[in-house]
Structure 1
Amino acid sequence: MEQARGLVATDAGMQVLWHRKPFSHVVDYDSWDEELLEDAGIMRHIEIGSMVPLSTGMDGAWEFVVRWGDEAALTETEQRHVVVSSEPYLLVSETDVRVGGIEHITGNAEDDEGFAVPLPPGRWSVTTHMIDADASGEQLDFVVLIKPGTAGERYRTSEQPFERR
């Protein structure tokens, strides 16, 4: 199991896990606007597995841990302090996977914000877990687990990773 960690900010209400190649043509605000401003564009990328929504829809900055591999799992402390978990999302990657605010998706590596996830190419199943950082005593808000996808697995396609209660 491997892991990457970072603080990720957004002013657009959505942190995402994304694969750069499907966004290689996004090089300025106009191309970003055309691809991702409308819900239909966001939904298309979620459905094809080029982007996974990770957060609650609020602006701000949160600490993310991303773990990947067959053994990717929550720690015992994290398990005790999970507030809510998402259903699995599809991520299809070749190279260059990142976590960042949706407004920072770009095909220009020099413009990157957030952090890299050196995930091997493949078809992946992604779940996000919101952690009660105050109760756990850790500087950690979300744990993202990435495991190999399985044939026939059904994936969530909502822009909201968590069911509203």
Structure 2
Amino acid sequence: MTGERDAWRDIAEAMLDVRLSDRDEQLVSRDGLDDVDIDQVVRVMQSLRAWHETDRRMAEASRRYMKLNATDMRAVRFLIAARNQDKSVTPGQLADFLGISSASTTKLLDRLERGGHVVRAPHPTDRRALVISVSDDTGIVARESVGRQHARRFAAAAALSPDEREVVIRFLDALTATEADSA
């Protein structure tokens, strides 16, 4: 099994090397790049893929631990952020943030309330509305799981010099812009 896993890993790593995945340079020009440069770019891409996989595994572990799906977890994190800023959140605001319908939001809130993750209460100034808040227990659990992960990520970024952080920011912003370029 280990040998088979290593073979799959080799194939996955090769997918990131343009010398193998785009031999004829139909998509990626390698003008001005020697093999050392390309090796380094491939290592960047491999590190990015490894980070992506690590982030996915950590998010999945947090969701499993808290017994939440991805949308539920986004809702809980949003409600925690709102609470940390002393802001009230209505079901409509939560629906807007999540990009889901009011019917889906009602189902989500019913599920989260049954699980003890959120509390519904009357809006303090609008008698027709409700406000949603994260329960104290869920806030504690989220801080111990997601919060601790974020703290480690923050520490990794803080350990970089200001110039290094600017390089990372430029790189990540350029990656983000590739989505707009492909539309």
Q: Which band: TM-score by shorter chain?
A: under 0.3
Q: Which has the higher contact order (CA 8 A, sep 6+)?
A: 1
Question: Normalised by the size of structure 2, how large is the TM-score?
Answer: 0.22
Indicate the structure with greater strand content: 1
> TM-score under structure 1 normalisation?
0.24
